[in-house]
Amino acid sequence: MEELQSTGLLTDKQMETFRKLKETFATKLGQTTKGEVLKGYNIIPNFSVETTEYAYEKWSPREGDVFLVTFPKTGTHWVHEIVRQILYQDEEIYKLSKLLPAFLELPLPPCEVFDFLDELPLTRRILSTHMPAELINVEKLKHVNAKVIYVLRNPKDAIVSWYHFMQSLPADMVKDRQHMHSSGWDKYFEHVISGDYPMNSKPGEWYPEHILEWYKHKDYKNIRFLRYEDLKKDLQKEVLNLADFLEAPVSSETAETIAHKCTFDNMKEALSEEHAITKHINMRKGAVGGWKNFFTVAQSEQVDDIMREKLAATDIQFIYKI
């Protein structure tokens, strides 16, 4: 933070605001909270209905903004960093971008956080959200030609990743959900596919419904559906494709550099001790196909049937091995 201040990119007042927001977030994160409900959607605990509503009703995105939309554990942190590397190639601007809120719906005072966001000297902002399309003012995004990236990851690996994520959280943070994953994999699996977990979803719904809500906007010229597994197969190629979509083209050499920086192992290694919790909780393996170590044949077929039925009207195809 002191290094950022010395660049002259932020005023003393902006730095003080950031410090206060950071302290507020740390306090909120350490509290045991129950998930809230918004328009029938069970919101992930520690995400804020108040902030989500403020963003929908009162905040205005800008042309050039990038919205990264994901269901939990489908590659948010990875793709967020790839986009940051593409958009912020100036070192000082890249550092400044680290002050952007990690998620649109963080439990922060909405007026203060969005004023701070709007005052940052960034011509383009990237914001991530786990919210369904109904809780995001998509028409505002379309009006300003904002870019939307929706990351698709095969649901079997996503389910396993969420299982490990929940087990890694402190028990006092997940008191109301602990019974869903503490009794072992089989019980957890049933809770997930039954839509029992609060994942910004309605009761009885989970990942396929989240996909379908955003898929309704597939004809919007500035939305792109990006497969996690395609990034794993050829990261440099996908960096070039993403850069073109974002209208921030990069050379093959720059794409190669970004791809190297954004390999899973390099990103995990680059996280400082200050972000040890992020490293431990949000960056485990990032592999494709690990689901085979958990799923029974029957469970695998059950997920296949669910996805086949619910996504029948789409052209979405998942990749389960590479």
Residue 289 within any structural domain of the chain = yes
The 10s digit of each residue's pLDDT in 66-92 is: 999 999 999 999 999 999 999 999 998
pLDDT of residue 144: 97
Catalytic residue among 130, 181, 210, 217: 130
pLDDT of residue 280: 44
Percent of the chain past pLDDT 70, that is, above it, reads: 86
Structure tokens at 166: 């929940």
pLDDT of residue 175: 55
Residue 319 within any structural domain of the chain = no
The 10s digit of each residue's pLDDT in 134-181 is: 999 999 999 999 999 999 999 999 999 999 988 776 555 555 555 555
Tell me the pLDDT band of 243, cut-offs 50, 70 and 90: very high
Residue 25 within any structural domain of the chain = yes
Smallest Cα–Cα separation from 157: which of 212, 207, 95? 207
Whether the pLDDT of residue 293 is over 80: the answer is yes
Residue 112 within any structural domain of the chain = yes
**Structural domain harbouring 255:** 2-310
Whether the pLDDT of residue 24 is over 90: the answer is no
Is 275 designated active site? Answer: no
Whether the pLDDT of residue 237 is over 70: the answer is yes
pLDDT of residue 273: 45
Report, as an integer, the average pLDDT of 28-51.
83
CATH for 110: 3.40.50.300
> Cα(11)–Cα(305) distance, rounded to whole angstroms?
55
pLDDT of residue 277: 46
> Cα(222)–Cα(247) distance, rounded to whole angstroms?
10
Residue 317 within any structural domain of the chain = no
Tell me the pLDDT band of 1, cut-offs 50, 70 and 90: very low
Q: Which residues neighbour 267 within 8 Å (Cβ) at sequence distance 6 or greater?
A: 77, 78, 81, 261, 283
The 10s digit of each residue's pLDDT in 179-235 is: 555 678 999 999 999 999 889 999 999 999 999 999 999 999 999 999 999 999 999
Residue 118 within any structural domain of the chain = yes
Residue 288 within any structural domain of the chain = yes
For the ranges 3-7, 40-44, 115-119, 122-126, the lowest mean pLDDT is seen at: 3-7
pLDDT of residue 174: 54
> Cα(258)–Cα(169) distance, rounded to whole angstroms?
31
DSSP run (H or E) holding 211? helix 207-215
pLDDT of residue 308: 98
Mean pLDDT (the chain, rounded)? 88
Tell me the pLDDT band of 108, cut-offs 50, 70 and 90: confident
More confident residue, 282 or 36: 36
Query: Total domain count for the chain?
Result: 1
Collapsing DSSP to helix, strand or coil, 98 comes out as coil
Q: Is 281 exposed, middle or buried (0-12, 13-18, 19+ CB in 10 A)?
A: middle
pLDDT of residue 2: 42
- Long-range contact list for 34-39, CB < 8 A, 24+ apart? 34/176, 35/176, 35/198, 38/135, 39/134, 39/135
pLDDT of residue 165: 86
Residue 316 within any structural domain of the chain = no
Q: Sign of the CA dihedral 152, 157, 161, 162?
A: positive
